[in-house]
Chain A
Amino acid sequence: EPEVTQTPSHQVTQMGQEVILRCVPISNHLYFYWYRQILGQKVEFLVSFYNNEISEKSEIFDDQFSVERPDGSNFTLKIRSTKLEDSAMYFCASSLSGNEQFFGPGTRLTVL
């Protein structure tokens, strides 16, 4: 069964550093998303991406964040200058139709 994959599974970084989280969505899916989940809290929407552009973003997704689909298979989330409060699990999801979303296993980001 096709699945969303994410790398790395765990990323540790120093405050102020840039990180890039990588995702490979399910191959025929057209809609892509990033979510984050701070430990013990709810899953929060960050951004949706369709047709090579951002379709919607949340208040969390400020200028420090960016997304790219550089090569038709990868979907990346970049955080330019990490803060302590960026520590969370980051989930990528993809969808064929923009409805049912399938999540990857997540990247645990720890900012020291």
Chain B
Amino acid sequence: RKEVEQDPGPFNVPEGATVAFNCTYSNSASQSFFWYRQDCRKEPKLLMSVYSSGNEDGRFTAQLNRASQYISLLIRDSKLSDSATYLCAAQGRNFNKFYFGSGTKLNVKP
């Protein structure tokens, strides 16, 4: 089983829509989770950290569900500039090792 799994998408949504992505992780001991966005051929950029139940930053909300071992990212009022690939990351059994999902592609259309 992969350490971190994501739906690859793409999610095609109109501007202004609300969209949610899920990410499942296999290591129940993981304490730290992260959402990154990655634009084409660029580096991952940190969007949010999720340590406990959740985190909110403007239009972005991340939730953690430990019982079901998944984290989610909700984007409200989507903008064209939100179009990117969203990567989920989790710390592994050894806390110095990090696992990334394959990413979920979001296309926001006018």
Contacts and interface: CB of A to CB of B under 8 A. Distances in A.
Interface in B82-97: 87, 89, 91, 94-97
A103 B45 contact: yes
B104 to A, nearest CB: 11
Nearest to A4: B43
A88 B96 CA distance: 23
Interface residues of B, number: 24
A56 B97 contact: yes
A45 B97 contact: yes
Interface stretch (A13-21, A36-44, A62-70, A74-82): A36-44
Interface in A1-50: 31, 33, 35, 41-45, 48, 50
A52 interface: no
B62 to A, nearest CB: 13
Nearest to A92: B43
Nearest to A104: B43
A83 B32 CA distance: 34
Interface residues of A, number: 24
Given A43-B87, A56-B96, A99 B32 contact: yes
A73 interface: no
Contacts of B103: 42
B34 interface: yes
Interface in B30-66: 32, 34, 38, 41-46, 49, 51
Contact of A41 (B43, B46, B94, B102): B102
14 contacts: A35-B100, A43-B87, A48-B97, A48-B98, A55-B96, A91-B44, A98-B96, A99-B49, A99-B91, A100-B46, A101-B46, A101-B98, A102-B46, A103-B43
Given A42-B101, A99-B32, A105-B42, 18 more contacts: A41-B102, A42-B102, A43-B38, A48-B97, A48-B98, A50-B96, A55-B94, A89-B41, A91-B43, A98-B96, A101-B34, A101-B98, A102-B46, A103-B43, A103-B44, A103-B46, A104-B43, A105-B43
Interface of A: 31, 33, 35, 41-45, 48, 50, 55-56, 58, 89, 91, 98-106
